[in-house]
Amino acid sequence: MYVFLLTSSTRHWVDVMNARRLSVPQIRAMKRRRGDAALTMVTAYDEPTARIVDAAGVDMILVGDSVGNVVLGRPDTLSVTIEEMVHHTTAVAAAQPSALVVADMPWMSYHVSIEESVRNAASLIRAGADAVKLEGGMQRVSVIEAIIDAEIPVMGHLGLTPQSVRAFGGFKVQGKSVEAAHHLLSSAKAIEAAGCFAMVIEGVPDVLGTEITKASTVPTIGIGAGADTDGQVLVLHDLLGLSGAKPPKFVRQYVDLADIATQALKAYVADVHQGAFPDATETYSASEELTTHLQA
Ligand code: KIV
């Protein structure tokens, strides 16, 4: 018994030592210096998409609450629950990616009380996330500190934060006035001081993305924040042409996968209609005895 325990635990530590998964300190240390390659983050919501994203060599997979509008057909992210985020995080983690897995804390999972926020963050870690992401600036400092105090790494998210869509009156670029830009700069400093290991900067003028990046000692990951942030993040379905709607200005769509998939499915429908699928190689054959018996 003792030997078995020793062996399995040794194996566990060999696995841990060999793990290729990027860690939070490694990402934290990848603050871009002139000439360094930028960090990459892409969303995934299930095991197959996590496998595809990971095979491309991205640094971080974001289990975004964008699952609400991107996958579940809802108008925005506000209806996404912590249970749904746990469900999708478990699926992404099942891919055992090399990329760091960051899971979004959905709206109202970190707004009610510190205790509830820490428990919700822990449920995402137990589902397989390496870190959690939450939206907001100075008003989030105490909750960020409490989650980090529970040994859970936190990524911040500033600018056009989708959970604030009602408060903003729509998906509007943020930080456009001098005052609003200074407010976002102060928010970036506040969440960095609270302990965030990185922060997403979304939907701000490029010069503000640059200045927040210069002012921060942790990596900034931009989405619609210009080319100077320390990294870039995109929603997988936008990048692959699977979103259905016209993607926002800041998206580069690399392929029209929806069209490719529709063509493939049309070929399948035609093959079935014409009796061309399945053929003999796609069918299980029976023994002569069974065939004779059944056809007698
Ligand atoms: O949920 C999400 O996909 C995000 C990205 C837009 C950064 O938070």
Measure Cα distances from 214 to 133, 193, 198 in Å: 21, 15, 13
Rounded CA-CA distance 146/226 in Å is 32
pLDDT for residue 19? 59
Q: Domain ranges for the chain, please list them.
A: 22-255, 261-295
- pLDDT digits 0-9 by tens, 191-245: 999 999 999 999 999 999 999 999 999 999 999 999 999 999 999 999 999 998 8
Q: Is residue 8 over pLDDT 70? A: no
What is the torsional sign of CA 86, 87, 90, 95?
negative
CA 106 to chain centre: 13
Nearest Cα residue to 223 out of 133, 122, 128, 108: 133
Note the pTM of the prediction, 2 decimals.
0.92
Q: Is residue 5 over pLDDT 80? A: no
pLDDT bin (cut points 50, 70, 90) of residue 2 is: very low
Q: Is residue 143 over pLDDT 50? A: yes
Rounded CA-CA distance 211/198 in Å is 15
Quick check: is 47 catalytic? no
Q: Is residue 15 over pLDDT 60? A: no
Class of domain 22-255: alpha beta
The DSSP output letter for 249 is: T
Active-site pick, 115, 135, 192, 202: 202
Residues having CB within 6 Å of any atom of ligand 1: 43, 62, 64-66, 104, 200, 202, 223, 233, 235
Phi, psi of 141 (to 5 degrees): -55, -45
Q: Using the mean position of ligand 1's atoms as its centre, give its distance from the Cα of residue 43 in Å.
A: 7
Residue 109 near residue 67, CB atoms below 8 Å: no
